[in-house]
């Protein structure tokens, strides 16, 4: 490990300029040449959905794909929005997703911290037990979960959607791994200073874990936002349906109006992509590390 000294600080500054590299031939980083084609391949579904969403109904149903539509039928989006209570769908999905994200962030952080840093009786067995809940296929769990929610009187409500998904062993496992990579010295120092364990979690561990928390938030949001099967089982009334369930009312088994379905799908993806872009600001190197010897 290096020691922080004035000399090193100087060297750190000069390290900003790439040392003795061949002069750049292009005005941009060569990494673009690697990333751009990969990004293009990854973008294929979005491009495909966009194309389909702007075609006429018969063009969209053609097989093979009509890649160049006759015109850009933006009114498909308006038609789709009006054909179903999309405003309701968005609202229900937003409630569902935000609540599960909040729940997971809070409850998983608490539990993960305990598993990562605290020693208590039965800790390891409990951890395996929680992890085990990820190992049973959801198909067999749907009906008993429905029965429990029914006993709580929350069938056909957004609360019934949210409650079983407030905390997942996935989040606990992931955050535990991340917390264990943090240098324990900071926490021990704070402990000696008399900070409570909860205080350590909130004042030291979580601020250093922003990328992990942002990741958990993104993933949980995505799962809730894209959830179809659980809402199908729980929700009866159309006005309580979240987005994917609502979208399915546009689709029948024989794929009519593919263009409208794709318009609806594109619209439903936008909030997630926006969230991802926003969450990027937390994907930064934690600067608190510099200064530690």
Residues in 9-48 at the binding interface with another protein, rule: CB under 8 A = 11-12, 15, 28-29, 31-32, 34-36, 38-46, 48
Site for another protein in 154-173 (CB under 8 A): 154-159, 161-164, 166-170, 172-173
Site for another protein in 192-221 (CB under 8 A): 192-193, 197-198, 202, 204, 211-212, 214-215, 218-219
CB 113 within 8 A of CB 201: yes
Q: Compute the C-alpha angle 124/125/127, nearest 5°.
A: 65
7 binds another protein (CB under 8 A): no
Minimum CB separation of residue 51 from another protein in Å reads 11
Closest CA to 204 of 223, 190, 221: 190
Q: What is the rounded CA–CA span in Å between residue 169 and residue 108? A: 8
* Residue 49 interacting with another protein (CB under 8 A): yes
Is the previous residue joined to 64 through a cis bond, with omega within 30 degrees of 0? yes
For residue 207, which phi and psi values (nearest 5 degrees)? -60, -30
Tell me if 50 contacts another protein by CB under 8 A: no
Shortest approach of another protein to residue 6 CB, angstroms? 15
Count Cα neighbours of 167 within 13 Å in the Cβ-side half-sphere.
12
Q: By rule CB under 8 A, what string of x and - marks binding of each residue 83-122 to another protein?
A: ------------xx-xx--xx-xxxx-xx-xxx--xxxx-
Q: Is residue 68 at the binding interface for another protein, with CB under 8 A as the rule?
A: no
Under DSSP, the state recorded for 24 is P
Our finding on whether 79 is near another protein (CB under 8 A) is no
């Amino acid at each position: 490990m290096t020691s922080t000294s004035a000399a090193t600080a100087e060297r750190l500054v000069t390290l900003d300029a790439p040392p003795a590299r061949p002069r750049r031939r292009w005005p941009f980083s060569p990494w673009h040449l690697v990333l751009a084609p990969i990004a293009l391949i990854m973008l294929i579904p979005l491009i495909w959905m966009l194309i389909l969403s702007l075609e006429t109904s018969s063009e969209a149903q053609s097989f093979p794909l009509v890649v160049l539509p006759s015109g850009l039928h933006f009114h498909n989006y308006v038609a789709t929005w009006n054909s179903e209570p999309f405003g309701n769908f968005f609202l229900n999905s937003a409630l569902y997703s935000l609540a599960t994200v909040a729940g997971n962030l809070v409850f998983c952080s608490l539990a993960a911290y305990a598993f990562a840093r605290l020693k208590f009786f039965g800790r390891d067995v409990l951890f395996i037990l929680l992890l085990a809940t990820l190992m049973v296929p959801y198909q067999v769990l749907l009906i008993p979960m429905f029965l429990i929610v029914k006993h709580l009187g929350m069938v056909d409500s957004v609360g019934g959607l949210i409650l079983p998904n407030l905390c997942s062993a996935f989040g606990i496992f992931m955050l535990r791994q991340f917390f264990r990579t943090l240098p324990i010295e900071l926490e021990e120092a704070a402990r000696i200073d008399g900070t409570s364990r909860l205080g350590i979690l909130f004042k030291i561990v979580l601020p250093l874990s922003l990328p992990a928390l942002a990741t958990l938030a993104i993933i949980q949001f995505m799962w809730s936002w894209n959830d179809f099967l659980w809402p199908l089982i729980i929700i009866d009334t159309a006005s309580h349906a979240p987005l994917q369930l609502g979208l399915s009312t546009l689709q029948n088994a024989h794929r009519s109006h593919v263009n409208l379905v794709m318009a609806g799908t594109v619209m439903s993806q936008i909030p997630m992509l926006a969230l991802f872009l926003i969450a990027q600001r937390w994907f930064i190197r934690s600067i608190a590390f510099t200064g530690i010897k």
